[in-house]
Amino acid sequence: MEKKGAFIPVLNVSGENIPEAWEKAYLTLHEKGLYHKRDDSKEDGNPNLDSAMTIEIRNPDADPFGHRAGGSTANEDSLMDYLYEMMGAKPAHLWIKDFSDPKDMRWEYNYFASLSQWGEFLPKEQSQGSINQLDTIVEKLAKNPSTRKAQAITWDPRRDLSASHTPCLQRIHPLIVTDAEGNPSFDMQYTFRSRNVADASFGNILGLYVLGCDIRDKLEKRLGVTMPMRMVDKIDSFHVNGRTIKRYNQNVEMFKKRVENGEWKELGDRTYTREEIVEGLKYYRSLVEGKILEQTKKRFKGTDDEFDAERQRVQNIGDRIFYLLEKYAPQ
């Protein structure tokens, strides 16, 4: 008997570098995704194009590195801000809302805080301390590189089942795999519950890339090895909503003209090299650091010396981002 029903398709793509793999996912969603109506203010009465998607990026260190159609957080100041946030430059106790105060309108999470201080962001009567899952991942893989138990989650049902804003990234699950000759490779796997391909999806990849490089670098130093990296990007709902469908379709038509016989062609008119991305980030670094520190200072209660220490901490995070982008640049 034929099973009937409306189910989003389960799709997968593979690409050599980040923009190639992302663009293939973009086009595959257009070709094979399911249109369906949702009761959501973001749809503007239009159907939602949806799928489950797995994106394999075989060599995320490679050029090209950026995509000109990547949307928000894909380049320049927005990307710089996102990388700072992913690496912990926005201290959770100053940037995330007090869940015991119904009048506090600050954001309800950021990914670094969820991964490094899981369990902390709850009403005071529910909080039982926090867990630094990022440190635990490094410790587990350093002690046992073949473990499959080194993972970190963001979702906290005590908060997120009733929160207005809930994390799209659900977990990261780095793996180390060793070949027959004993050479290790670093596999940065992670899962999102929801991503709009036309908005922040490309920036998400770059943010997870830098976070993955941070973990990889710490493990290489602990283990005394160097490791090539692969990324496996898994999304439960890889979609375009009604408000972004027009821009999405315009990009699809542009991309189609640059694909021959199903094969992605590297063309500079729609991608950036790592060098171009890094130069843009350097240009915006001081501006973004200033804005982050300005926002932090609004709720900072320490002394001037303590705020100077916070300023230095944020600058150190910036140094770390550029160190990682340089260390793993294509040779």
The structural domains of the chain, ordered by start, are 10-261+276-327 (3.30.572.10)
Q: What pLDDT shows up at residue 55?
A: 98
For 257, residues 6+ apart whose C-beta sits below 8 A from its C-beta are none
DSSP-assigned letters across all residues of 191-229: EES-EETTTTHHHHHHHHHHHHHHHHHHHHHHHT----E
What are the mean pLDDT values of the chain's consecutive 10-residue runs (331 residues total)? 80 95 95 89 79 98 94 87 97 86 86 91 70 97 97 92 91 97 97 94 96 98 98 97 90 82 66 94 97 96 96 98 98 85
Parallel/antiparallel/unpaired status of strands 10-15 and 48-57? parallel
Q: Which residues are registered as beta bridge partners of 55? A: 13, 233
Predicted local distance difference test score (pLDDT) of residue 260: 67
pLDDT value of residue 240: 94
The pTM score is: 0.94
* Per-residue pLDDT, 124: 64
- Tell me the CA distances in angstroms from 52 to 32, 33, 56, 98, 222, one per residue in order: 11, 9, 14, 34, 36
pLDDT of the residue at 39:
79
Closest CA to 152 of 140, 166, 165, 144: 140
> What is the predicted pLDDT for the residue at 277?
95
Q: How far apart are CA 323 and CA 214, in angstroms?
A: 10
The residue written with tokens 């946030």 in the block is 85
Span between the terminal Cα atoms of the chain, in Å? 56
**Exposure string over 143-181, b if 16+ CB within 10 A, otherwise e:** eebeeeebbbbbbbeebbeeeeebbbbbbbbbbbeeeee
Vertex 202 angle, CA 197 and 207, to 5°: 135
Label the pairing between strands 184-192 and 229-240.
parallel
Residue 143 CA to residue 125 CA, distance in Å, equals 36
From residue 178, alpha-carbon distances to 219, 223, 267, 277 in Å are 14, 13, 34, 32
Return the pLDDT at 254. Answer: 86
pLDDT of residue 266: 58
Burial of 239 (0-12, 13-18, 19+ CB in 10 A): buried
Dist. CA 306–CA 21, nearest whole Å: 44
